[in-house]
Chain A
Amino acid sequence: MRTRALIGGATFCVLFLSWYAATDLFQLIDRHRFPSPTDVLVAALQIINRGYAGGTLITQCLYSLRLVVLGFFFAVLTGVPLGIAMGLSRRFEAFINPAFLLIRPIPPLAWIPLAIVWLGLGDSAKILVIWFAAFVPAVINAYSGIRNIDPTLIAAARVHGASSQVVVRDVLIPGALPMIFTGLRLSLQASWTTLVAAELVGALFGIGRVLIIAYRDIYPAMIAVGMISVAVLGALTTKVLSIVEERVIRWRHT
């Protein structure tokens, strides 16, 4: 394992050095197409201190983060219960499925223009699109989480006298939780992808706005800063989600 980490570290060093050599040192690559490490540093300092595309790095990041968190929460609050309900009742599933099957194959990004027609370029359109993006994986995984529970577990609980309510609360929902969290991780990923796309299409603030303005200004170093910010934000939120998961599903590790 330690050699693995060493090799990984060495790879990053080699990549960074060759990047530096190809750009700053020997200027093999056109700077207007591919930024050098110093360019990226300068761009980062610029957006951190003076701001770019209408705000400093921290305001732009917080702005995007807030939208993702809101959209994601709405999707979890609506999608997970719907998925659970569809998993519990075949009748409810049969009733909802046609509408769901119609909506499901439409990629969340395709909702962006409609959201703009409906709600304009502001926050609510973004939240709506993120909600759509995060909703589908939340529903599907909650549903299959419930359906994939071993029937003998349910039978065992029933034999021991558990009522339907108790079975749902103590067997089905806890049993579905790992799958539900798998769905939430997909939802979170989809939320970020969709937000970036929505902000690229049209936004007043946010990291996607930084990216598109940097593209129009032909400022590749700032594009790189924006991409790094998106990656860091995505990694941070994923980390938070896995901490929550560990707390909620304690029994799996103990």
Chain B
Amino acid sequence: MAAHLSSRQARHELALLSLAGTVVFFGLWQGVAVSGLVSNYVLPSPVEVITAGLAMLVEPFAGNTLQGHVLASLGRWAAGFALAAALGIPLGLGMGHWRVLDAIVSPVFEAYRYIAPLAWVPFAALWFGTGIGGPIMVIFTGAFAPCLVNAYRGARQVERHLTEAARTLGAGGARVLLEVLLPGALPSVISGLRVAAGLGWQSLIGAELIVVSSGIGYVLVQGQSNLAPEIVMAAMLAVGLTGLLIDVALRATESRIKRRWGQPA
């Protein structure tokens, strides 16, 4: 099967099918939307969605332009993500190396993991407000777990004799962590960061839906309460696109780092 599909003709056929799939998808959507079978308040056509999105680029909606909202969200996201990485990675590396630390933190961490990140929204808002602190805490709770888990796994893969050699040569705990465990665990750490970035972004959208009154999630809510599904959908596209860009950027970093440091099979 794979043999004849790898031929040029077959690839051609697959590309055509992809094109057909795209056309059918948008054609159906546009067709249903303009046919009047469903109300415009339910399903706007793809054209209307794109127009609404473009209009928001120039005309402010809910207090800001579309790119302004996206940037506001991105700023929060970056802060929460950086915090999660700064705490999660060292803790994970340390747990991978020192058994005692592992035994102390693991049970608490396992309990913490069962709490859905969005369930932290009320406490986050209560403790840190709904401006900057609260959303950052929600992003943190979403992104922390993958940072820690992947750093932990990566550190477990670092061969024991390497850390022992470093110790014998007189390296202290901090140096072992920074100069042996971190480079050794780096490929795994980066994969974790990618997962964390996605989860953090998603958690932020949730927080903005619930309590925050700026950012792209807020556009979604405002579109909803204005009964403007085309704005909701345009904002959804913006959310998806931003998430995709974050992922692409991290993927590029990942493959660069993996090429440089090698991936232990």
On A, residues with C-beta under 8 Å from B are 3-4, 7-9, 11-12, 15, 33-34, 90-91, 94-99, 102, 105-114, 116-118, 151, 189, 192-193, 196-197, 200-201, 208, 211-212, 214-215, 218, 220, 223, 226-227, 230-232, 234-235, 238
Contact = CB atoms under 8 A, between A and B. Distances in A.
A231 B25 contact: no
A117 B18 contact: no
Given A196-B119, A232-B114, 7 more contacts: A8-B106, A12-B107, A95-B17, A99-B25, A113-B224, A227-B115, A234-B115
B218 to A, nearest CB: 10
Nearest to B209: A201
- Chain B residues touching A, range: 35 or more
Contacts of A226: 119, 122
Contacts of A223: 122-123, 126
19 contacts: A9-B107, A12-B107, A95-B18, A97-B21, A105-B243, A106-B237, A108-B202, A109-B118, A109-B202, A113-B224, A114-B229, A114-B233, A151-B2, A193-B202, A196-B118, A214-B122, A215-B122, A220-B126, A223-B123
Given A33-B127, A107-B243, A215-B126, A91 B14 contact: yes
A226 B13 CA distance: 53
B81 interface: no
A96 B24 CA distance: 10
> Could you tell me the dominant secondary structure of chain B's interface residues?
helix
Contacts of B21: 94-99
Contacts, number: 165
Contact of A110 (B111, B117, B239): B239
B205 A4 contact: no
Interface of B: 2, 5, 13-15, 17-18, 20-22, 24-25, 41-42, 99-100, 103-108, 111, 114-123, 125-127, 198, 201-202, 205-206, 209-210, 217, 220-221, 223-224, 227, 229, 232-233, 235-237, 239-241, 243-244, 247
A169 to B, nearest CB: 17
Contacts of B20: 95
Given A94-B17, A211-B122, A117 B227 contact: yes
B114 A118 contact: no
Contacts of A113: 209, 220-221, 223-224, 232
A87 to B, nearest CB: 12
A175 to B, nearest CB: 16
B114 A7 contact: no
A103 to B, nearest CB: 8
Contact of A99 (B22, B108, B223): B22
